[in-house]
Amino acid sequence: MTTVNGDRYSAQAVEARYQNSFGRAAGYLPQDRDVVYAWLDELGRRVEEQKTTRALVRHDSVAALARLIDRDPVVRMYVTLMIEQAKEYRKDGVRDVPDLLDHLDVIVTWAPRYTDKVRFPMSTLFVDMMYTPAGEAVFRNRDLNRALLGILREWCAYLDSPASREVLTDEEWLSPAARSDLKLDDFEIDFAKPYGGLASFNAFFHREVRSGKRPVAGSGDPKVIVAPNDGRVVKIQRNVRRTDEFWVKGQRYSLHDMLDGSDLTDGFVGGDVYQSFLSGGDYHRWHTPVGGTVISARVVEGLTFTELESAGHDPDSGTQSQIYEASVNARALIFIKGSDPVGTVCVMPIGITEISSLTITVTPGQELDKGDELGYFSYGGSSMVLVFQPGAVAAFDVPDNTTGNMENGQWCAVNSKIAHTG
């Protein structure tokens, strides 16, 4: 978009940012953006059909967004500009604010299909808007993010409902191809029952693993630290600072921001961070990396559809955005007091784009054995961070991802050994 704001918004730069985006890397968006645009065309046809037949329903969360845009002139200005600027990439996209709201109304009752090449509907709707100057500004607006979180929660409620099971068939998520691709035999699914015996699409997504399929490494050895999730290593960083410029290039973690100003922050200064990201086929429940007692557990409301804009179209922009999102995105903070020398560990699941539903299943004061479940993500991919106090980790037993490409990191199964104490 050179007519708007220079080379950072050129077609080449935007294509590079898309290829390095979380949704594309995690397998929820296709590599070919023409496929994205074809899906958007189909979505647009659904909108028009529902309007013609008077089947389009204004959902409560979308109505709340409409009221925000109407009453807040700054939000209205940026959303309007974002839509107009996105037309420089694709002229036949969303026409105006009312058309954007209609698209969101259709998405709220849409369940992803295995055979779809597009599985992140809102990321797809916003695919060009996010990469405009106005889009970069408005997606950091707290009020807009609260409204978008409301839409995501209403969509999540639909995916929690029996109506969403329509895609749990032997032609879609329970097909032979999906069964092989997603290793579904590792999970608690009864293929002999309708819908796999599951209550909803989300029940399929955060399906439980079968006993013995993710054994806990070093279950009797407190020196062994295990992975809290399935996922690929994004970054391992040692001697992390209390406060750093997480918004600039250089892959910097900022503990004060990551831990949301927690009173426990100072105890982690100079410690270590381990980050991984989950793709669509990964197991989406989180487990404790060490045994111990839950000190506190809460969800921090944060941003959703935002990336590190200063990363531009650098080859490592995806990794840089993951690190940036650790400081600003919706996330859970679960502090666990382990035995010495591991001390206190913070387990931090992070929601990215569609992923705003973080369900914690433990409570303060609860005693945990290593490998016990802590919670789960609802539909989508996501990221996970572990924060260790200084001196807790003698060495990591998985390699750091130094390639700058989050897709190249080593894949680790939940409960596998990733580090050890002295």
Residue-wise pLDDT for 335-361, tens only, equals 999 988 899 999 999 988 776 579 999
The b-or-e profile of 328-341 (16+ CB within 10 A means b, else e) is bbbbbbbbbebeee
- Tell me the per-residue pLDDT of 174-221, one tens digit each, with 9 for 90 and over: 999 999 999 999 999 999 999 999 999 999 999 999 999 999 999 989
Torsion of CA 315, 316, 322, 323, to 10 degrees: -150
Pick the closest to residue 165 from 208, 207, 113 (CA basis).
Answer: 113
Preceding peptide of 341 cis, ω within 30°? yes
Q: How many CA atoms lie within 13 A of 36 on its CB side?
A: 24
Residue that has been written with the tokens 């209609």 in this structure = 102
Q: What is the mean pLDDT of residues 28-54?
A: 92
- Tell me the per-residue pLDDT of 355-398, one tens digit each, with 9 for 90 and over: 657 999 999 999 999 999 999 988 865 889 999 999 999 999 99
Distance CA 179, CA 83 (A): 39
pLDDT at position 6: 53
Burial class (CB in 10 A: 0-12, 13-18, 19+), 20: buried
Distance CA 281, CA 381 (A): 9
0.75 exceeded by the pTM? yes
pLDDT at position 179: 96
- Write the DSSP assignment of 286-306 as a string of letters: EE-SS-EEEEEEEEE--B-S-
Q: At what angle do helices 73-86 and 97-107 cross, to 10 degrees?
A: 80
Beta bridge mates, 329: 303
Residue that has been written with the tokens 């890397």 in this structure = 25
Pick the closest to residue 319 from 33, 8, 22 (CA basis).
Answer: 22
Contact 93/86 with Cβ under 8 angstroms?
yes
Distance CA 149, CA 155 (A): 10
Pick the closest to residue 420 from 332, 283, 289 (CA basis).
Answer: 289
